[in-house]
């Protein structure tokens, strides 16, 4: 996927941003307040982030938590990263899911970070 084709390289509905990262609402949220934090630089893997990009993303994760706490008062959070297609990454631009937990799940959406192949084996 090129930068031109990438939906995260020119994001819409930016909630927060800094020089190196942005926060957007997840287009397919599993819970109200589900957001994505991502570097501005087009890279596929979280492992490619520089220390500065990691710090910028973490700054926005904390800011996002404050906003979500105020709006939804969740009982907890899942923060997760899918790296590679086999892990469930569908957009090959590194991003971090911030998912408030507790309360109602959005109908028809499966939880993020659940290994469905693992569950079928049980």
Res 33 pLDDT > 90:
yes
**101 DSSP β-pair partners:** 76
Residues 74-93 have pLDDT tens digits of 999 999 999 999 998 999 99
| Domains contained in the chain, CATH given | 16-121 (3.30.428.10)
95 part of the active site: yes
Q: Which of 34, 42, 93, 95 is catalytic?
A: 95
Cα 113–Cα 116–Cα 117 angle in degrees, nearest 5 = 125
Q: What is the pLDDT of residue 107?
A: 60
Q: What is the pLDDT of residue 119?
A: 41
* Residues 74 and 100: beta-carbon distance below 8 Å: yes
* Residues 48 and 83: beta-carbon distance below 8 Å: no
Share of the chain above pLDDT 90, in %: 75
| 96 pLDDT tier (thresholds 50, 70, 90) | very high
């Amino acid at each position: 996927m090129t930068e031109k084709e990438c939906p995260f390289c020119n994001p819409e509905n930016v909630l927060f941003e800094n020089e190196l990262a942005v926060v957007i609402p997840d287009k397919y949220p599993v819970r109200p307040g589900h957001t994505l934090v991502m570097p501005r630089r087009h890279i596929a893997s979280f492992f490619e982030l520089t220390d500065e990009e990691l710090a910028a993303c973490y700054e926005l994760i904390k800011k996002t938590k404050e906003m979500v706490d105020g709006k939804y008062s969740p009982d907890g959070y899942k923060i997760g990263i899918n790296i590679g297609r086999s892990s469930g990454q569908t957009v090959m631009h590194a991003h971090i899911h911030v998912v408030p937990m507790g309360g109602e799940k959005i109908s028809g959406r499966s939880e993020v970070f659940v290994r469905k192949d693992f569950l079928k084996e049980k």
